[in-house]
């Protein structure tokens, strides 16, 4: 989230796409309801914020939204593109913001082109783009600053490119692609257009309904472009707000759960980068304008050096380039699907799973299960048996044939340990242990520590090809076999090695090896003053604890970076430092300093100074990107069909699906596992229900009572065609597998009219498998309960996120 | 139209049995009293049989009612208030179940005394029996009223169940006495009279079933009890009345009495189960 | 005496999350029933001895691609014992196990109840269930134990949207009136308060803002919200009249006219005179 949960109460319009917060984030949803019930919020003359929910299914979020739009899954780029077009054509954008705070005025390379669904630079063989033609046109001179046209008239300036690009997204086109009737779309457009006014603000809320597509990254970017045009980024009540997943998934991402980043979003080094200099040169952003601070790029080296000092202590010093050589430099992709793809190809010896069940979470579970059965060993660290630790029970596997040796390492559940959760709003909140560990279970960090020490001992004893990264790793904990999370939190915060004192801000990090920090964005979370995540000054005394009344509550827990509640908050004020909407100030220049939230800006920098930095201090541009050359699948979001779709792309039928989506089976020369619309005419999507947390709650009796059995939501009309009633058993099949579950017949899902072609959408909750209380009640049936038996093994070009949310199926009634 | 959103109390066989026994016990006592008042000493054998049978049936009532409770050992809470600070007796005249419990207790005393006297072949005072009969009639009637005083469909849609249960208590007990008379010596004088009475009572019962249906039809909930298997049972209930209405003698008379008794039981069964279905 | 307290449940902002159901079960240590598929979203089915809260779902969504939700199309309502001012259950309970507490709530004292289940047949909202394990009737206690410790009921505490609001009834009435006015202004003509005034059982301690007619939610409307005792008078009267007729009929049948006792084995008269 650029903003945070509580901030949603400040919005006039809450646009929800690809998310079902009432069900997936019910507690955070209270802020949506606060906004709705607040008569001072809302478009027009107020009367309560308006919730606009676009979703393939009418869900519990739709039930309390002011407007629900039945959208075809995977088509939100068309929806947002249509809104972008409306906003530009009708001059509803926030002119001053767009000119000064975005790269609208930047001139792009003259060779940049977009034609027939392809951007310039496409290599059809590799299915990738060469991005040179997407670059900015440079001013002459040594700094290579970007050329700009502040009048936004130059045909090669970003604004004109965007305007031109989206002119194809007419309301009619939106209807044809998304299935949203033109009139309804225009109703939404009108409300959204109003949000370009400085005194109005809209937030866009999304989650995995946008990410789980081969076009996921661009789906999100299309919404961000709209928000930038409306001037809503950086403002309270605005922003692009990703509702994250597990209670601590934000903390996980910050601390490098993804293979391509190091803690604090530093990039993983690439092969050939021999020195820190090489690494920083490629990884850090460059200053593109004289008045751009380029904070991240400028300080990149400090962050990586401090990280290496944290990990390798005295073994990291100037003479060995701070042990940079110890870092792995992977040549290939190592994302989730790649792991199982490698296993399928027999290139993986063993896998350790911790807090995640590979077998259920798919995609294409049958393929993943085959992959697991090709491993020599599988170690599962989990408080409960999972579909992975019991994977040989799956349908299609013969236990006798599975040679994989499976180890179960019972861990404590997070409820049995303390530590921090970082929520979607980047709030790091410390929690206490609620109940003591059960039985012989051990904390994950103890298991990992012990494992590490045993491996280290082996290296010390036997040597090895490159033992240094292992034997030199520091483990400066009181009991190195049993580190406490408090110790780790202090280590992550980092310290000044000269004084031995913990730091309070990353501004103090150095690139000379005199500071440590396990994650630069967490500097300040645990300074000498103590654990900031434990602070709890909240609604006991709102007047005192929330002085601005904006819901910042600065002394409740701690937010990265530096306890800033709203990212890019410099953009909440105009060029002179006056808030766009004084009633909803983020920060304001009071003549001598910035007040309000913790400013995303030098606290005393006078905005009227001609040399004052531009507002988006992290970027090389100093402004936000409407046009982004850093994306692998195109600088401007374009609508592509899901890989399995019942229709051809109405914009460019010959370039229907994303040309850069990563097709694993094809790349590995395996047989195609995609279905065609004649065989599988029905669109399916998968999702969560309030009552379960993925798979783990299959162990919780109260929740199994609330949602005992899997089902598929089927439109009434389709159900009538197939003679199916609620409660009947049906088989849902895709090219990859099948499930056999109950039918829930309802108009909450329905038919779409796509330019004359009628298609049905059905919805499948993900929460069941062959493990858990319900599965034990139905041991045979539960073999066909896993939603991911159906989903395709294909990934987004940028993130390799699977296409869980759009695929084709066929449905039959079971006797 | 009356709409109901209640849940069934799951009053089932014990309660059917209780209502059946309570009706018969009450009816026997009343008939014995009436025979005593109107008849000659030639009825004595039957009167004695009635008093002898009434009390065991009351005991059965108490047992059935108690074991139907979720907490049988707390049956006495019906009479004694255990709410901290309150204490005293529980007596809620507007609650038929409260009133009925007392009625059962009081009738238990009457029927016990009459039982002992009958055992010792002593006569008792007519006043005593008349008062006992009033309580007996109340007992038979309240078992129906307790159903009406609820919010269950069917039950609460008719005020006639109290009457219906009285009528069927009388017809059932008359039928039972016919049987007893048939098997006992010295009862032949009473038997035709009982048979005649039974015919009247059966007529009364039939009339009340009709009234019951009319009240349900008015409330719009007739279909709930007058459809499916329940409809079949109602037809059987009506059929059970016919032999007695036509009148007969000898072994056919006992058969028709048995039919009446089965009908009485079945009628209570349908009323109780159909409403809760 | 504390001021009367209760719940105002605003169904227009209920998200059917069932946090209230679970919180209630946790607090009251209710085991819950055997898992059973209902209709996909409502698998609890009813209020009973293991579910003092039950979120009802009423799907009125039509087959059109755009719908105004706003609590209007897919109705969700967290149902509970209404803590009626004129409580049918309390009226019939023979053991006086059901009492009105100092908070003006209706409570079944578990140690007094003997499980006769008359209250179940009486409660017009189906709010009471019989517990096989305790052998008693059970329903929402309005968290009597929490109230005594000055805590709000568990369900209200857990409700994320504050669809369930706990407080003194006078405060809640005001809030409800304001919310209803706002909805009316937005054109929700069917929106109505249920049990806020005395037209339903003299007023409900747990009252609701509904987005449609009470019947749609499975609630008795004004005409159907009647007390069991309404049938007392006519019920006994019916019994009395029948008894009177019966006695007369009996007297007629038994009258000892001079007809001689039939000889042993002889046929009795074929029909009555
Ligand atoms: N109760 C509960 N809460 C959870 C979780 C849980 O398992 N249970 N899991 C947590 C985790 S890990 C995550 S990641 C989050 C996920 O939170 P959400 O993303 O909100 O969860 P989903 O239900 O997967 O998907 C949201 C909605 O996206 C819709 N959708 C699918 N495709 C499209 C599309 O193309 N466009 C649009 N506009 N909508 C689409 C689906 O119909 C669904 O209603 O939830 C978290 N919270
Ligand atoms: N078709 C389809 N597939 C999907 C999705 C979808 O929307 N559609 N969503 C995807 C998404 S966003 C996600 S996040 C995944 C979720 O998939 P998972 O993350 O696999 O799901 P959970 O059940 O949350 O798994 C968490 C596991 O962690 C264990 N656990 C809990 N606490 C601890 C702990 O402290 N230590 C350890 N070691 N284990 C612990 C639990 O017992 C449980 O087994 O599913 C993905 N798969
Ligand atoms: S499960 Fe936890 S994290 Fe998720 S909404 Fe509920 S309280 Fe929040
Ligand atoms: S709702 Fe039912 S149980 Fe609750 S007080 Fe009213 S009558 Fe009694
Ligand atoms: S079941 Fe318990 S609470 Fe209900 S009426 Fe009987 S004694 Fe009273
Ligand atoms: S008030 Fe207490 S007992 Fe009643 S429903 Fe709420 S949590 Fe359950
Ligand atoms: S907790 Fe609140 S929002 Fe959730 S179902 Fe219950 S009443 Fe509705
Ligand atoms: Mo997730």
- For residues A688 and A710, the answer to whether their CB atoms sit within 8 Å is no
Residue C146 is part of a domain; what is its CATH number? 3.30.70.20
* Among candidates A33, A39, A726 on the partner chain, residue whose Cβ is nearest the Cβ of C40: A726
Q: How many whole angstroms separate alpha carbon A559 and alpha carbon A214?
A: 31
**Within an 8 Å CB–CB cutoff, is residue C243 touching chain A?**
no
- For residues B45 and B186, the answer to whether their CB atoms sit within 8 Å is yes
Structurally, chain B folds into a number of domains equal to 1
* Among candidates A68, A690, A704 on the partner chain, residue whose Cβ is nearest the Cβ of C17: A690
Rounded to 5 degrees, what angle do the CA atoms B144, B146, B152 make?
A: 100
Q: How far is CA B58 from the centre of its chain?
A: 11
The tokens describing C182, both together, are 């706002």
Q: Has residue B76 been placed in a domain? A: yes
- Mean pLDDT (chain A) is 96
**Confidence band, pLDDT 50/70/90 cuts, at residue C142:** very high
- For residues B97 and B146, the answer to whether their CB atoms sit within 8 Å is yes
pLDDT in tens, C66-82: 677 788 999 999 999 99
Q: Has residue B2 been placed in a domain? A: no
**Within an 8 Å CB–CB cutoff, is residue A25 touching chain C?**
no
Question: Rg of chain C's alpha carbons, rounded to an integer?
Answer: 25
Domain that holds residue B214: 13-274
The pLDDT of residue C273 is 34
- DSSP SS3 for A148: strand
Helix axes B13-38, B44-68, angle to 10 degrees: 160
- Mark whether C10 and C64 lie in a shared domain: yes
Q: Has residue C201 been placed in a domain? A: yes
Peptide bond into A598 cis (omega under 30): no
- Topology at the third CATH level for domain A336-423+435-462: Rossmann fold (3.40.50)
- Mark whether C171 and C255 lie in a shared domain: no
3-state secondary structure A717-749: HHHHHHCCCCCCEEEEECCCCEEEEEEEEECCC
Taking residues A678-707, what's their average pLDDT?
A: 97
Beta-strand runs (E) in A355-426: 377-382, 405-410, 419-422
- For residues C124 and C144, the answer to whether their CB atoms sit within 8 Å is no
Does the pLDDT of residue A110 top 60, yes or no? yes
Does the pLDDT of residue A522 top 50, yes or no? yes
Q: How far is the CA of A31 from the centre of ligand 4 (A)?
A: 33
**Confidence band, pLDDT 50/70/90 cuts, at residue C257:** low
Q: CATH second-level architecture of A662-813?
A: Beta Barrel (2.40)
Q: Do C220 and B5 touch (CB under 8 A)?
A: yes
Q: How many whole angstroms separate alpha carbon A465 and alpha carbon A320?
A: 18
The pLDDT of residue C42 is 97
- For residues A42 and A49, the answer to whether their CB atoms sit within 8 Å is yes
**List of chain C residues whose C-beta atoms are within 8 Å of the C-beta of residue A39:** 182
**Confidence band, pLDDT 50/70/90 cuts, at residue C267:** very low
- Mark whether C118 and C26 lie in a shared domain: yes
Does the pLDDT of residue C270 top 60, yes or no? no
Complete DSSP assignment for chain C: -PPPEEEEEEGGG-----HHHHHHHHHHT---PPP---SSS--S-S-BTTBS-EEEEEE---S-SEE--TTSSEEEEEE----BSS-HHHHH-TT--EEE-TTS-EEE-TTT-----HHHHH-TT---EEETTTTEEE----SHHHHHTT---HHHHH-TT--EEEEEHHHHHHHHHHHHHHHHHTT-TT-EEESSSTTTTT-BSEEEEESS-GGGGT---TTT---GGGGHHHHHHHHHHHHHHHHHHHHHHH---SPPPPPTTPPPPSS--
CATH class of segment(s) A5-245: alpha beta
- Mark whether C188 and C251 lie in a shared domain: no
- For residues A293 and A299, the answer to whether their CB atoms sit within 8 Å is no
- Mark whether C219 and C193 lie in a shared domain: yes
The pLDDT of residue C256 is 63
Does the pLDDT of residue C263 top 60, yes or no? no
**How close is the nearest chain B Cα to the Cα of C30, in Å?**
18
**The residue to which tokens 């003006």 are assigned:** C104
Number of Cα atoms under 13 Å in the Cβ half of residue A531: 19
B116 CB-contact burial (10 Å; exposed 0-12 / middle 13-18 / buried 19+): middle
Number of Cα atoms under 13 Å in the Cβ half of residue B202: 29
Taking residues A299-310, what's their average pLDDT?
A: 98
Taking residues C41-62, what's their average pLDDT?
A: 96
The two beta strands, C5-10 and C206-210, are parallel
Pairs of residues, one from chain A and one from chain C, whose beta carbons lie less than 8 Å apart = 151
Question: Rg of chain B's alpha carbons, rounded to an integer?
Answer: 19
Nearest CA to ligand 5 atom 6: C116
**How close is the nearest chain C Cα to the Cα of A100, in Å?**
37
Residue B232 is part of a domain; what is its CATH number? 1.20.1630.10
Nearest CA to ligand 5 atom 2: C113
Per CATH, A5-245 and A336-423+435-462 having the same topology is answered: no
Q: How many whole angstroms separate alpha carbon A79 and alpha carbon A173?
A: 9
pLDDT in tens, A403-453: 999 999 999 999 999 999 999 999 999 999 999 999 999 999 999 999 999
3-state secondary structure C72-85: CCEEEEEECCCCEC
- Mark whether C107 and C237 lie in a shared domain: no
- Mark whether C144 and C217 lie in a shared domain: yes
Q: How many whole angstroms separate alpha carbon C177 and alpha carbon C158?
A: 23
> Least CA distance to A183: which residue of chain C?
C66
Domain that holds residue C56: 5-227
Q: How many whole angstroms separate alpha carbon A194 and alpha carbon A186?
A: 12
pLDDT < 50 regions, chain B: none
Q: How far is the CA of C19 from the centre of ligand 6 (A)?
A: 12
- Mark whether C253 and C206 lie in a shared domain: no
The pLDDT of residue C132 is 94
pLDDT in tens, C226-237: 999 999 999 999
Backbone angles phi, psi at C5, to 5 degrees: -120, 170
Taking residues A363-378, what's their average pLDDT?
A: 97
* C-alpha dihedral, A800 to A805 to A810 to A814, nearest 10°: 110
- For residues B51 and B176, the answer to whether their CB atoms sit within 8 Å is no
Q: Has residue C9 been placed in a domain? A: yes
Taking residues C83-102, what's their average pLDDT?
A: 97
> Least CA distance to C259: which residue of chain B?
B189
- Mark whether C167 and C246 lie in a shared domain: no
- DSSP SS3 for A502: strand
Structurally, chain C folds into a number of domains equal to 2
- For residues A557 and A427, the answer to whether their CB atoms sit within 8 Å is yes
Query: Are chains A and B touching, using the cut-off of 8 Å on CB pairs and a minimum of 3 such pairs?
Result: no
* Among candidates B42, B147, B166 on the partner chain, residue whose Cβ is nearest the Cβ of C242: B166
Does the pLDDT of residue A733 top 60, yes or no? yes
Q: How many whole angstroms separate alpha carbon B263 and alpha carbon B23?
A: 13
Backbone angles phi, psi at A474, to 5 degrees: -85, 145
The pLDDT of residue A572 is 98
Of A359, A381, A357, A356, nearest to A368 (Cα)? Answer: A359
The pLDDT of residue B85 is 84
Does the pLDDT of residue A624 top 80, yes or no? yes
Q: How many whole angstroms separate alpha carbon A761 and alpha carbon A807?
A: 10
Neighbours of chain A (3+ CB pairs under 8 A): C
The DSSP element (H or E) to which A115 belongs, if any, is strand A114-115
Is the minimum distance from the CB of A220 to ligand 1 under 6 angstroms? Answer: no
- Mark whether C59 and C98 lie in a shared domain: yes
Q: How far is the CA of A243 from the centre of ligand 8 (A)?
A: 9
- For residues C180 and C188, the answer to whether their CB atoms sit within 8 Å is no
The pLDDT of residue C259 is 53
Of A180, A189, A200, A209, nearest to A21 (Cα)? Answer: A209
Residue % of chain A over a pLDDT of 90: 98
Q: How far from each other are the two terminal CA atoms of chain A, in whole angstroms? A: 47
Q: Where are the domains of chain A?
A: 5-245, 260-330+484-525, 336-423+435-462, 662-813
């Amino acid at each position: 989230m650029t903003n945070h949960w509580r901030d949603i109460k400040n919005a006039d319009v809450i646009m929800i796409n690809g998310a079902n917060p009432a069900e997936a984030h019910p507690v955070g949803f209270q802020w949506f309801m606060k906004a709705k019930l607040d008569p001072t919020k809302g478009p027009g003359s107020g009367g309560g914020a308006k919730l606009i929910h676009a979703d393939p299914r009418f869900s519990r979020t739709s039930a309390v939204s002011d407007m629900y739009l039945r959208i075809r899954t995977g088509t939100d780029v068309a929806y947002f593109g249509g809104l972008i077009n409306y906003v530009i054509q009708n001059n509803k954008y926030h002119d001053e913001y767009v000119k000064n705070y975005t790269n609208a005025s930047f001139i792009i390379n003259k060779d940049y082109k977009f034609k027939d669904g392809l951007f310039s630079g496409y290599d059809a063989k590799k299915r990738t783009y060469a991005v040179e033609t997407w670059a900015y046109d440079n001013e002459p001179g040594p700094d290579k600053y970007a050329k700009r046209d502040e009048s936004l008239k130059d045909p090669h300036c970003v604004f004109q490119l965007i305007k031109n690009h989206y002119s194809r997204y007419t309301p009619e086109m939106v209807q044809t692609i998304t299935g949203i009737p033109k009139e309804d779309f225009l109703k939404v457009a009108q409300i959204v257009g109003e949000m370009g006014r400085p005194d109005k603000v809209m937030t866009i809320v999304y989650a995995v309904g946008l990410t789980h597509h081969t076009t996921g990254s661009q789906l999100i970017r299309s919404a961000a472009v709209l928000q930038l045009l409306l001037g809503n980024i950086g403002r309270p009540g605005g922003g692009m707000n990703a509702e994250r997943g597990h209670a601590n998934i934000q903390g996980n991402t910050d601390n490098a759960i993804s293979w391509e980043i190091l803690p604090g979003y530093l990039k993983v080094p690439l092969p050939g980068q021999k020195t820190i200099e090489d690494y920083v040169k490629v990884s850090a952003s460059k200053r593109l304008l004289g008045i751009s601070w380029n904070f991240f790029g400028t300080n990149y080296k400090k962050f990586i050096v401090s990280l290496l000092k944290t990990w390798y202590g005295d073994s990291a010093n100037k003479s060995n380039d701070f042990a940079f050589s110890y870092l792995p430099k992977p040549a290939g992709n190592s994302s989730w699907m790649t792991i199982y793809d490698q296993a399928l190809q027999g290139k993986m010896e063993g896998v350790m799973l911790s807090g995640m069940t590979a077998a259920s979470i798919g995609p294409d579970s049958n393929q993943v299960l085959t992959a697991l059965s090709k491993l020599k060993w599988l170690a599962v660290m989990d408080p409960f048996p999972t579909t992975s630790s019991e994977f040989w029970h799956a349908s299609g596997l013969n236990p006798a044939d599975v040679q994989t040796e499976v180890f179960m390492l019972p861990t404590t559940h997070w409820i049995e340990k303390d530590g921090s959760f970082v929520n979607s709003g980047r709030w790091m909140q410390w929690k206490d242990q609620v109940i003591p560990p059960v039985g012989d279970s051990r904390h994950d960090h103890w298991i990992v520590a012990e494992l590490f020490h045993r491996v280290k001992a082996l290296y010390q004893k036997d040597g090895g090809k490159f033992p240094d990264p292992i034997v030199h790793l520091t483990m400066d904990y009181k009991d190195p076999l049993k580190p406490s999370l408090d110790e780790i939190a202090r280590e992550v915060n980092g310290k000044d090695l000269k004084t031995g004192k913990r730091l309070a801000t990353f501004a103090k990090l150095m690139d000379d090896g005199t500071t440590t920090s396990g994650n630069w964005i967490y500097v300040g979370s645990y300074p000498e003053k103590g654990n900031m995540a434990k602070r709890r000054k909240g609604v006991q005394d709102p007047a005192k604890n929330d002085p601005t009344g904006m819901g910042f509550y600065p002394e409740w827990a701690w937010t990265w970076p530096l306890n800033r509640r709203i990212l890019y908050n410099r953009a909440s004020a105009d060029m002179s430092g006056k808030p766009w909407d004084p009633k909803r100030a983020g920060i304001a220049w009071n003549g001598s300093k910035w007040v309000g939230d913790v400013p995303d800006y030098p606290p005393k920098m006078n905005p009227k100074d001609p040399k004052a930095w531009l507002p988006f201090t992290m970027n090389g541009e100093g402004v936000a990107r409407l046009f982004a050359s850093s994306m692998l699948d195109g600088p401007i979001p374009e609508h592509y069909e899901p890989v399995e779709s019942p229709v051809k792309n109405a914009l460019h039928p010959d370039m229907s699906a994303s040309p850069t989506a990563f097709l694993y089976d094809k790349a590995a020369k395996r047989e195609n596992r995609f279905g065609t619309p004649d065989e599988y005419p029905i669109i399916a999507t998968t999702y969560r229900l309030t009552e379960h947390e993925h798979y783990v709650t299959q162990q919780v009796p109260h929740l199994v009572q609330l949602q005992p059995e899997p089902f598929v939501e089927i439109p009434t009309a389709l159900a009538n065609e197939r003679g199916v009633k609620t409660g009947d058993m049906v088989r849902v099949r895709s090219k990859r597998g099948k499930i056999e579950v109950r039918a829930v017949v309802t108009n909450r899902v329905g038919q779409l009219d796509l330019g004359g072609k009628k298609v049905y959408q059905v919805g499948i909750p993900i929460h069941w498998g062959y493990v858990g209380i319900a599965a034990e009640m139905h041991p045979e049936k539960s073999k066909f309960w896993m939603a991911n038996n159906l989903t395709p093994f294909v990934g987004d070009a940028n993130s390799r996120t699977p296409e869980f949310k759009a695929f084709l199926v066929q449905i039959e009634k079971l006797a | 139209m009356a709409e109901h959103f209640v849940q069934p109390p799951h009053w089932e066989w014990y309660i059917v049995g209780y209502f059946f026994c309570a009706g018969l016990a009450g009816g026997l006592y009343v008939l014995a009293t009436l025979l005593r008042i109107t008849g000659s000493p030639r009825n004595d054998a039957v009167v004695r049989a009635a008093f002898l049978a009434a009390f065991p049936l009351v005991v059965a009532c108490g047992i059935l009612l108690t074991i139907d409770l979720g907490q049988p050992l707390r049956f006495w809470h019906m009479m004694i208030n255990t709410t901290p600070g309150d204490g005293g007796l529980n007596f809620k005249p507007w609650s038929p179940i409260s009133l009925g419990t007392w009625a059962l207790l009081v009738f238990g005393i009457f029927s016990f005394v009459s039982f002992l006297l009958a055992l010792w072949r002593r006569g008792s005072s007519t006043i005593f029996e008349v008062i006992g009969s009033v309580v007996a009639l109340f007992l038979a009637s309240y078992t129906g009223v307790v159903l009406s005083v609820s919010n269950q469909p069917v039950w609460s849609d008719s005020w006639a169940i109290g009457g219906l249960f009285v009528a069927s208590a009388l017809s059932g007990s008359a039928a039972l006495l016919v049987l007893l008379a048939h098997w006992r010596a010295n009862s032949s004088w009473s038997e035709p009279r009982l048979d005649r009475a039974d015919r009247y009572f059966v007529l009364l019962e039939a009339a009340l079933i009709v009234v019951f249906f009319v009240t349900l039809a008015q409330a719009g909930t007739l279909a709930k009890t007058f459809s499916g298997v329940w409809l079949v049972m109602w037809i059987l209930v009506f059929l059970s009345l016919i032999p007695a209405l036509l009148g007969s003698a000898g072994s056919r008379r006992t058969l028709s009495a048995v039919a009446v008794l089965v009908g009485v039981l079945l009628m209570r069964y349908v009323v109780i189960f159909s409403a809760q279905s | 005496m504390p001021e009367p307290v209760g719940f105002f449940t605003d169904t227009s902002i209920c998200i059917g999350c069932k946090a209230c159901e679970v919180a209630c079960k946790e607090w009251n240590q209710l085991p819950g029933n055997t898992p059973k598929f209902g209709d996909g979203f409502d698998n609890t089915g009813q209020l009973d001895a293991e579910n003092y809260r039950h979120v009802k779902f009423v799907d009125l969504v039509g087959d059109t691609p755009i719908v105004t939700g706003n609590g209007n199309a897919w109705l969700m309502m967290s149902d509970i014992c209404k803590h009626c001012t004129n409580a049918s259950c309390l009226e019939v309970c023979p053991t006086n196990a059901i009492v009105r507490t100092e908070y003006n709530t209706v409570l079944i004292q578990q140690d007094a109840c003997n499980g006769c289940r008359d209250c179940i047949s009486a409660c017009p909202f189906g709010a009471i269930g019989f517990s096989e394990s305790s052998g008693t009737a059970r329903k929402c206690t309005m968290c009597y134990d929490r109230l005594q410790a000055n805590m709000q009921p568990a369900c209200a505490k857990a409700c994320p949207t504050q669809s369930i609001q706990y407080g003194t009834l006078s405060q809640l009435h005001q809030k409800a009136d304001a919310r209803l006015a706002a909805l009316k202004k937005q054109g929700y003509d069917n929106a109505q308060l249920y049990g806020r005034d005395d037209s339903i059982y003299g007023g409900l301690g747990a009252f609701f803002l509904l987005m449609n007619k009470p019947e749609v939610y499975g609630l008795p409307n004004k005409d159907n919200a009647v007390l069991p005792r309404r049938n007392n008078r006519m019920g006994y009267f019916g019994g009395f009249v029948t008894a009177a007729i019966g006695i007369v009929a009996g007297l007629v049948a038994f009258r000892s006219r001079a007809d001689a006792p039939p000889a042993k084995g002889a046929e009795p008269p074929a029909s009555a005179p």
